[in-house]
Amino acid sequence: MRETEGIPSENRAVLRRNREAIEALDKGKFVLVCDGKFIGAFDTEDQAIEASRGYRKCVIDSRSYSPIRGEWGWGSIASE
């Protein structure tokens, strides 16, 4: 799969290019991107997870994530 194909790749692209997402990350927020759309910025990971309910594929990113938490330093969740 090429980087631009599929929802997971779209989510990562939004994290890299969306102005609101970038600014929120710089402020230390937890940024939620689902189904290729910026959903919001949250003070806690739990708030971001709660907001992800009802979406198919989501990525949460934060400068607060340590490399130990995930292979790339970010978490990915899927809701069914």
Q: In the predicted model, is pLDDT for residue 63 greater than 70?
A: yes
Cα distance between residue 11 and residue 21, in whole Å = 11
Band of the pLDDT at 24, cuts 50, 70, 90?
very high
Two tokens at 53? 């309910």
Query: Would you tell me how many other CB atoms lie within 10 Å of the CB of residue 71?
Result: 6
**DSSP label at 37?**
E
Under 8 Å CB-to-CB from 54, ≥6 apart: which residues?
79
For residue 64, the model assigns a pLDDT of 77
Band of the pLDDT at 70, cuts 50, 70, 90?
very low
The reply to whether the predicted model has a pTM over 0.85 is no
